[in-house]
Amino acid sequence: AQTVTQSQPEMSVQEAETVTLSCTYDTSESNYYLFWYKQPPSRQMILVIRQEAYKQQNATENRFSVNFQKAAKSFSLKISDSQLGDTAMYFCAFMNSPNSGNTPLVFGKGTRLSVIA
Amino acid sequence: NAGVTQTPKFQVLKTGQSMTLQCAQDMNHEYMSWYRQDPGMGLRLIHYSVGAGITDQGEVPNGYNVSRSTTEDFPLRLLSAAPSQTSVYFCASSRGQGLEYEQYFGPGTRLTVT
């Protein structure tokens, strides 16, 4: 079974600075999908960014970008120009490709990020 | 579209009671899932469905039942509530499985079992 590990339970960053959240995963598949979700205090789950394992180019969404290292099975999230609204729990998640069976998302335990003014 | 709706938002049960958490989506999504979120544990998959009439177990299915008689609804039943089932429960849906099929999450149900 796939596992997702987030080794940083809590992190903090000064407003306008850059922070990187770590995520590693374990799988024997060659194609799969990786996601970062944000959960603010409202509890709503918000998709931040997504990446397909076959694509070598790192995904970017505005201030959010990933560093995808397939050989190392690493998928870190970089937040640039941090804003107070970025304060939230961040979850890394893994999904098999459809060819590997119908399996929903597998989540890591999360990293609580606090942005400090 | 209302998206994914969950009822109730909050619930308190006594040990041994049963109840059903409701989940509905109006996006004609085939895939639906139930997760529970506990402090320090992330979201763990309870049960999921890839279409009406088809369900399967996730990582933590014990103590929960599901059925999928329609595309829109995916209720989660607690047969005999236990304090270990105190958690926040999320329902999610998507059109399919893949990068382009975004998962939509409901607002969650906070359940306390005393």
pLDDT tens digits along A21-59: 999 999 988 888 999 999 999 999 999 999 988 888 899
CA–CA gap between residue A85 and residue A106 (Å, rounded) = 26
The CB-based long-range contact list for A47-56 (8 Å cut-off, 24+ gap) reads A47/B102, A47/B103, A48/A77, A48/A90, A49/A77, A50/B99, A51/A75, A51/B99, A52/B99, A53/A29
Q: How many CB atoms lie within 10 A of CB A44?
A: 15
Tokens of B40: 């320090």
Q: Are strands A111-116 and A10-14 parallel, antiparallel or unpaired?
A: parallel
Task: Please count the residue pairs, one from chain A and one from chain B, whose beta carbons lie less than 8 angstroms apart.
Answer: 58
Assess A109–B contact: CB distance below 8 Å, yes or no. yes
Q: What pLDDT was estimated at residue B61? A: 96
- Do A111 and A10 meet the contact criterion of CB atoms below 8 Å apart? yes
Q: What pLDDT was estimated at residue B107? A: 95
CA-to-CA dists, residue A100 to B8, B31, B33, B97, angstroms: 35, 16, 18, 11
Q: What pLDDT was estimated at residue B112? A: 97
Q: Are strands B76-78 and A19-21 parallel, antiparallel or unpaired?
A: unpaired
Tokens of B33: 């899932």
Q: Using one digit for the tens of pLDDT, what is the confidence trace for B43-89?
A: 999 999 999 999 999 999 999 999 999 999 999 999 999 999 999 99
Tokens of A26: 């374990």
| Residue A102, pLDDT above cutoff 80 | no
Assess A88–B contact: CB distance below 8 Å, yes or no. no
CA–CA gap between residue B37 and residue B110 (Å, rounded) = 10
Contacts of A41 (CB under 8 A, 6+ apart): A88
Which residues does chain A have within 8 Å of residue B58's beta carbon, measured at their own beta carbons? 104
| Residue A18, pLDDT above cutoff 80 | yes
Tokens of A2: 């796939």
Q: Using one digit for the tens of pLDDT, what is the confidence trace for B16-39?
A: 999 999 999 999 999 999 999 998
Q: Across chain B, what does the average pLDDT equal?
A: 94
Q: What pLDDT was estimated at residue A2? A: 82
Q: Across chain A, what does the average pLDDT equal?
A: 93
B39: preceding bond cis by omega (within 30 degrees): no
Q: How many CB atoms lie within 10 A of CB A14?
A: 11
CA–CA gap between residue A93 and residue A50 (Å, rounded) = 9
| Residue B1, pLDDT above cutoff 80 | no
Nearest residue of chain B to residue A33 (CA atoms): B99
Cβ within 8 Å of A, B 10-69: 31, 33, 35, 40-45, 48, 50, 56, 58
Q: What pLDDT was estimated at residue B51? A: 92
Nearest to B96 by CA among B26, B36, B49: B49
